[in-house]
Structure 1
Amino acid sequence: MSKIYIIHENSEWTVHLTNRLTELGLPFEEWHLSKGLFDLSEVPPQGIFYSRMSASSHTRDHRYAPELADNLFAWLGQHGRKVFNGSNALSLELSKVKQYAALTKAGIKTPRTLAAVGKENIIKAAEKLATESFITKHNRAGKGLGVQLFYSIEALKDYVYGSSFDEPVDGIMLIQEYIDSPEKYITRCEFIGGKFVYAVQVDTSGGFELCPADACNIGDLFCPVGEKVEEKPKFQIQRDFNDPIVAQYEKFLKENHITVAGIEFIRNAQGEVYTYDINTNTNYNSDAEKAAEQYGMLELSKFLGGQLAQLQEVSLES
């Protein structure tokens, strides 16, 4: 029997999807690639394959899961299996440099960014950027890895040559202009089947940990000294979001063979949109979805179920 095969390395981020698939009565199987083995002489099972491989896998001691997944995709492709968020999506997931190159090629504005390997070149990159404030981030990231805001070259030197320096797993550190938004939030647009589902406003006043997954949730903002303040959710779905950037994103996803993604942008004081992250292992925040009565994993499950049904129809006809 044909199934939905979910390729991933983090059950904590996948259980919300499998719960929805179970709820809809859809047949599925998880392929957890923290380790693995596949025989190139064998034929893969019939079904559709959906990848949730993450750039941050190395933070969970799954250093080579993406490499294993990419080679698995080649085997699946050899046998004509349909893979959603396959090799091209994974390539962009693992490299922000590749993300920015693809976005720029599509005419989508990104912050000015320099890539550097080696501590001395990280400093040189910041000097060349020559802005009053800038951020660092890992090229292969996820979960806000390596993202820090600096206001001087000296502060960057203290960090880079200090004991708290966080070495990127691929060796590539990005130095990026800081887009100072008058509103302390970013917007994340969610897409399923290449089509826009909803936009979520993410409060950035508490820092750069912006992963919407419940497992990453650092809690709503609060006053540490107990002063009564109005609670403000970190994630809020924006009702009736309508912006020209959505059409650009949909076109971009189609051209780059990406089926499911969360794309993040920020506006500067002049209202210009800067896109800075594509997450092809997108997660959803349950509190924000409950408040808006919109559910990403449910929509994703319906999409995968529809694709499986199409495959089964073709099999019956042939």
Structure 2
Amino acid sequence: MTKAYVIHENPAWLPPLAEAFDRIRLPWAELDLSRGVFDLSAVPPEGVYYNRMSASSHTRGHRYSAELTAAVLAWLTRHGRRVVNGPRALDLEISKVRQYAALEAAGLSVPHTVLVQDDPQVLIETARRHFGEGPVILKPNRGGKGLGVRLFTSPQALADQLAALPDDEAPIDGIWLLQEYIRAPRPVITRAEFVGGRFVYAIEVDTTAGFELCPADVCAIGDAACPVGTQPAPAAAPRFTILPEGSMEPALRERLEGFLSSSGIDVAGVEFIRTADGRALVYDVNTNTNYNAAAEEAAGLAGTARSGPGALAAFLARELAAKELLAA
């Protein structure tokens, strides 16, 4: 029997997906690439391979998992295996710079961003030159989950705090990004979820407690990701809220779906922020997207094909059926 193979390095993220897969009796197996040995002269098993390698894998002690995954994906594609979120998707997952280039090529707007090689003095000088004395966001080119993203009120605040940033938030590829701070009318961002390249739902995320925006319960890290100099606000409302159907304009949905198609991305959460005049600026694409169980429960989606895990299970089942039909 052919299977759907889930490529990953963090088993803590699997239970919601496993439940959805088992609910529809999808045959599946894990392919844990936290480390591994692969005989490149062997032929990989038949099946559909779903890549959910994370840009943040190095923060869990898996420094080279993304590189290992790139090699394994090359092996799989060489043998004609169907890979969901294949090599191009992985390439964009581990580089925001390449994400932004692809987004702009698809006609989407991104915030003003400046790349800086890892040099503290140059970082401070560049912040002043491009963003004046106002606020600026600092983020690693390869991060994940919002780790390492910090809002500074000024370049001087950046200079004062730079040496105190935790070592595990330094950019693993040596590239920092300085990004304009968008003062949105409300302190929220929107994350649009796509499965099979098609829109599933949009979820609104309250950013008052910082930039740790991974929706999964296992991502919660207290106040470790709060902007420098701030404290998390009391939780007056759910941090993650699924928006009603029709909340996102069709033109934006179509442009995002076009970007995913041209980039070889099947499954993703795409995050954007609204400017005061209503423009959407896309700033992150998560190809190992997680889903918030409480938000899906509140929206009446939990356990259905309209939930994130449910939509993913149905999509992989269709891909597996198509693969078996071709092989028949």
Alignment of 1:242 onto 2:248: yes
Match of 1:194 in 2: 197
Q: Which amino acid aligns with 1:83?
A: V
Q: Which amino acid aligns with 1:102?
A: A
Identity fraction in percent: 49
Q: 1:230 to 1:282 in 2, by over 3 A?
A: closer
List per-residue Cα deviations over 1:4-55 (Å, max 9, x = no partner). Answer: 0110001111221122111211111100001101101110000010001000
Alignment of 1:306 onto 2:318: yes
Partners of 2:216 and 2:202 in 1: CA distance: 15
Q: 1:163 to 1:74 in 2, by over 3 A?
A: closer
Q: Which amino acid aligns with 1:139?
A: N
SS in 2 for 1:258: coil
Please state how far the C-alpha of 1:163 moved relative to its aligned partner.
6.1
Q: Which amino acid aligns with 1:277?
A: D
For 1:44-55, what aligned pairs fall within 5 Å after superposition? 44-55=44-55
Q: Which amino acid aligns with 1:204?
A: T
Match of 1:290 in 2: 297
Alignment of 1:181 onto 2:168: no
Q: How many residues align?
A: 308
Match of 1:254 in 2: 261
- Indicate conservation of the 8 Å contact 2:136/2:155, yes or no: no
For 1:56-75, what aligned pairs fall within 5 Å after superposition? 56-75=56-75
Please state how far the C-alpha of 1:279 moved relative to its aligned partner.
0.4
For 1:216-235, what aligned pairs fall within 5 Å after superposition? 216-217=219-220, 231-235=236-240
Alignment of 1:24 onto 2:24: yes
Please state how far the C-alpha of 1:271 moved relative to its aligned partner.
1.2
Partners of 1:123 and 1:185 in 2: CA distance: 27
List per-residue Cα deviations over 1:171-228 (Å, max 9, x = no partner). Answer: 1111000001011100000000000000000001111111101111368xxxxxxxxx
- Indicate conservation of the 8 Å contact 2:99/2:285, yes or no: yes
For 1:7-156, what aligned pairs fall within 5 Å after superposition? 7-117=7-117, 118-131=119-132, 132-156=134-158
TM-score by length of 1: 0.93
SS in 1 for 2:265: coil
- Indicate conservation of the 8 Å contact 1:189/1:196, yes or no: yes
- Indicate conservation of the 8 Å contact 1:115/1:125, yes or no: no
Partners of 2:74 and 2:195 in 1: CA distance: 23
Q: Which amino acid aligns with 2:243?
A: Q
TM-score by length of 2: 0.91
Please state how far the C-alpha of 1:130 moved relative to its aligned partner.
2.2
Please state how far the C-alpha of 1:78 moved relative to its aligned partner.
0.9
Match of 2:229 in 1: none
Runs of 4+ displaced beyond 4 Å: none
Q: Which of 171, 187, 190 is the equivalent residue of 2:174? A: 171
Gap regions ≥5 residues in structure 2: 223-233, 302-306
Q: Which amino acid aligns with 1:285?
A: N
Q: Which amino acid aligns with 1:14?
A: L
* Greater alpha carbon shift after TM alignment, 229-238 vs 130-139: 229-238
Please state how far the C-alpha of 1:102 moved relative to its aligned partner.
0.8
RMSD: 1.6
* Greater alpha carbon shift after TM alignment, 291-300 vs 163-172: 163-172
Q: Which amino acid aligns with 2:173?
A: D
Q: Which amino acid aligns with 2:270?
A: I
Partners of 2:315 and 2:171 in 1: CA distance: 35
- Indicate conservation of the 8 Å contact 2:103/2:110, yes or no: yes
Please state how far the C-alpha of 1:100 moved relative to its aligned partner.
0.7
SS in 2 for 1:161: helix
Q: 1:78 to 1:126 in 2, by over 3 A?
A: same
Partners of 2:241 and 2:165 in 1: CA distance: 37
SS in 2 for 1:202: strand
List per-residue Cα deviations over 1:105-151 (Å, max 9, x = no partner). Answer: 11111000011111122112202212411100010001112111112
Please state how far the C-alpha of 1:162 moved relative to its aligned partner.
3.9
Partners of 2:13 and 2:209 in 1: CA distance: 23
